[in-house]
Structures are given as structure tokens and as C-alpha cells.
Amino acid sequence: MESLLAATMSYRFGYRFLQQDLLTDPQWETVRDILERYFGMKDVTTALRYAAERVHDGLQRNPGVHVSARCRQDLDSMLCAGENDYRKGTGGGVAGDGKVGNIAENTVPPSPGEIARHGLPGGVFDVLEAAYEHFDDNEGLLRIAVYAIVSDIVPAHRYLAMAKDLAGDEWPQTRDYIVELFEEFDNKVFIGRDNRNVSYEQLLVQEQLGDAAWNYLRRRKPPVGGCEPIFLSDSVEDWDSLFSTLAPVAALSQCDAVVSMLMHPLQDDDGDLLHEDTEKNRAKIQRIFRQCIRFGARYRAVQERERLRMMYPRRPQLQMMLDNALEEHDDDAS
């Protein structure tokens, strides 16, 4: 991160920061002390409390951090390509996926101009990280990584790999601490069910944390009473993505609960889904059945099919589609 900061400053100010010391030690100390106070980063809980207070006041939870989807992708790629990014190996990529620090040998590291045009991915947050890096302050860097995961600072892959590397043998305890912090601050820092935390989701998937994934998923579940869930509406993409990502993990420990969440709309006989026998509604019901079977609850799909067959004997197309969903699974199993 210190090298990226030097590249950015060289581009913006015209000085040859890449060929000399970026800052003197007293200057680094000043920068560190100011930004620690700015973020409350002497303690992760304090830093998260500051973030929650900013959200409560209608401000950006992580000031100075780029958060657009384009920045997420572009800057993640740039960090992956940079030779000198975090400890020469953990910058970008998911730990254990064969991509950490190995981003194609043919990848060309970004030029100072490319970095400067986008800006540092974490803005002033990255300056604090560079200060910790300069002083080899592993405890400070670990606080940075934990905070970044809980509050979702880009790029997600990088901070998760960074936390694992810094925690070393203490990673299981650090992982549990991250989950504990997120459980405490989720509804304070991420207000509204549409607010996703990509970094934390990756932690849940990589570590296969079933109970934590279920807690995350159910807090973001769209309201059912009186209106369709998002994953059954016309705007399915975001909930579909979330559900597809975390439901298999949540089902490891909460399979019945995940299936019940999935099947809940079919319990409302007067709801929009069952009220009219349209092609769109039939497709949505079939989709629910396929998801249910995917999570290993074929028995529940069979029960629901029989119930719907008794309730709606004059809906042959619906019966045929549900039969097809079950037969597809049987064919795959054989």
C-alpha cells in the first residue's frame, strides 16, 4: 500500500516519491496519529461506533473510500496486479483459491497514471494502512483488516486474505471476533435489507459459517406479509444473488429454516403468487421447488406438490411443471 501511495503522490504532485523516502518517520507518526483519531482506529469497536454514528447522521460510513461497483472491480484488479501490494502476495484474490498473488504472470502492473486516475481504493483509509505498514505494525494492520471486513471496504478479497495472513494461528479466534463484531454492528452500520456487505459474505462462504450466514440472510429477507419477496418479484437479481450465495451455507446448520423461508410464499393462499394461474406465477412456483430440492429437501417439495394438487385440481399446467421439477432431480440423481 505504501508503494501505491507513493505512485499516486508522484503522479499528482510531480515529485519523485517513487525514488526517495515517501515521508520521514516523524511525518509518518503524525499521519498515523491524525488518521487513527479520524477513524477511531486505536480500537476496532470504537472505529465501528464512529461508522455507525456517521450512518445515523446520514453521512458516508467510511469517508474518503471509493464504493462504486466499477471502482470495486477496477481497483481490485489493480491491487492484484501490483507487485508491492500487501506483503507481496496477499493483495487481491481469495486465500486458498489459487489466485492469491498469482494473478497471471502476464498481467501488467498499473502505471502511476492509472492508479492516480482511479485514486487509492480506500482513500485516506489506505494512507493509515501505509503508515502501519511503514512501522511494521501488524496489530494496526490487523485492526485495519478486521474493520474493513465488518464495514465492507473495497476490495473485499484483499482484506480477508490480509486478516488471515496477519492472524496466523489465531485466525479461528479472529474470525469469530469478526462475526461477533458484525452481529453487534450490522443493523447500525448497514441500515436496510438492501445493504449488502460483500467482504463479510465472502468470509461466511469461505469459512462455511452456517449460523452466521443464516442470521445475515434472515435480516435481509424481504417482507412477506402483504407483498411478495424480492426473489419472487420482477426485480429478482439482487435477492437472487444474495440467496444463491448464502443459502447453501446457511443450510449447513439451518436447512429447515432456509427451506421454510423459501416455501413461505406458498402458504398464503390469497397471495398474488397463488391467486392467479399465470405463466409467470407458475414459473416462480417451479423455481421455488427447484431451489428447495437443491437444498436437499425433496421431501418438502413432494409435500407441497401434493398440497397444491389438492387445492388446485384444475391447474394442469402447474401440476405438470411441478412434476417436471421433481423428475429433473430424479434424473440427475440417477
What is d(CA 39, CA 45) in angstroms, rounded to the nearest whole number?
A: 11
Answer whether 239's CB lies under 8 Å from 262's CB: no
**Tens of pLDDT, residues 8-51:** 776 666 666 666 678 889 999 999 999 999 999 999 999 999 99
Tell whether pTM > 0.85.
Answer: no
Considering just the CA atoms, what is the radius of gyration of the chain in Å? 24
Closest CA to 82 of 149, 160, 7: 7
Is the torsion defined by CA of 254, 255, 259, 260 positive or negative?
negative
What is d(CA 226, CA 223) in angstroms, rounded to the nearest whole number?
A: 8
Residues in the chain: 334
Answer whether 189's CB lies under 8 Å from 48's CB: yes
What is d(CA 150, CA 161) in angstroms, rounded to the nearest whole number?
A: 14
Give the least confident one: 68-72, 173-177, 320-324.
68-72
pLDDT (0 to 100) of residue 18? 63
**Tens of pLDDT, residues 274-333:** 888 899 999 989 988 988 888 888 888 999 999 999 999 999 999 999 999 888 877 665
Report residue 154's pLDDT band, with 50, 70 and 90 as the boundaries.
confident
What is d(CA 134, CA 142) in angstroms, rounded to the nearest whole number?
A: 14
Render the burial of 213-236: b for 16+ CB within 10 Å, e for the rest: bbbbbeebbeeeeeebbbbbeeee
What is d(CA 332, CA 329) in angstroms, rounded to the nearest whole number?
A: 5
What is d(CA 108, CA 114) in angstroms, rounded to the nearest whole number?
A: 12
What is d(CA 21, CA 320) in angstroms, rounded to the nearest whole number?
A: 72
What is d(CA 65, CA 85) in angstroms, rounded to the nearest whole number?
A: 18
Answer whether 230's CB lies under 8 Å from 196's CB: no
Instruction: Report the amino acid identity of residue 275.
Output: H
Give the least confident one: 78-87, 175-184, 199-208, 269-278.
78-87
What is d(CA 176, CA 208) in angstroms, rounded to the nearest whole number?
A: 12
Q: Is 310 helix (H, G, I), strand (E, B) or coil?
A: helix
Q: What angle do CA 226, 230, 235 make, to 5 degrees?
A: 125
Scan for cell 501488524, then name that residue: 138
Answer whether 127's CB lies under 8 Å from 36's CB: no
